[in-house]
Homo-oligomer: A and B are copies of this chain.
């Protein structure tokens, strides 16, 4: 493998990512699926403990059960495969148990370790899938409704869903999403906090393109026209992500962590 060509390809490939919400009616071969999953388990994991599990759901009946918990996002039904990456210390704790080793990993730190492990593995799977011509769409509902999804997927104690995505062949071409300027995400040496004028500058382009996009959504445009929504920031916390919804998800998730033996 020529490292120069490889680097050009991989970085180009990474930058070509877009979320795919519409899928062809076409199965994924077992061979490709295995390549994707094998890529997942090569990701770094804390102490090489691999504190995660990957659940591959194809059965239409199970996906039907998951559908409302993913807030009826059509990808759940339309894509042939759903991958759910879970923080998992169940496997490890069973091994400790039969090895007469002191128990551990039933605490918040362990939940976070498993979450990070699961997320790193998911991104390897996503990039591997995209290199095979497949598309993915991450669904934040995996975590927002972790307790309900965990129930459908039969998760035992010390296992919690963290990230998940639909997986399949893209129907048509989706546009790449905008990103905030690199310089607004990156800090040199230490964190440099933002002034008001820097914040205005950082969000200027997104503000313009975002409002234009939302004006095309009739329901949203009515609110914009009626003056209930003045700008894109208000679209975020008046409509898409309200404080009430996030406080509810927070409580549910925290309760579920206790239930799943990750917070004693």
Contact = CB atoms under 8 A, between A and B. Distances in A.
Nearest to A58: B189
A9 B40 CA distance: 15
A194 to B, nearest CB: 6
B43 A17 contact: yes
Given A56-B187, A96-B233, A132 B193 contact: no
A140 interface: yes
A42 B237 contact: no
Contact of A55 (B14, B189, B199): B189
A174 interface: no
Contacts of A253: 108-109, 112
B234 A100 contact: yes
Interface string A1-44: 10101110111111101010000000000000011011111111
Given A179-B42, A236-B49, A13 B17 contact: no
A153 to B, nearest CB: 5
A11 B133 CA distance: 12
A128 interface: yes
A72 interface: no
A222 interface: no
Interface range, A side: 35 or more
A43 B102 contact: no
Copy number of this protein in the oligomer? 2
Interface string A122-161: 1110111001110010101001100000001111100100
A208 interface: no
A104 interface: yes
A17 B128 CA distance: 13
A14 B127 CA distance: 9
A186 interface: yes
A199 to B, nearest CB: 5
21 contacts: A15-B38, A15-B39, A15-B42, A37-B186, A55-B186, A56-B186, A57-B189, A62-B189, A98-B196, A99-B231, A101-B236, A102-B234, A102-B243, A104-B236, A104-B241, A109-B246, A109-B253, A120-B138, A154-B190, A154-B193, A156-B191
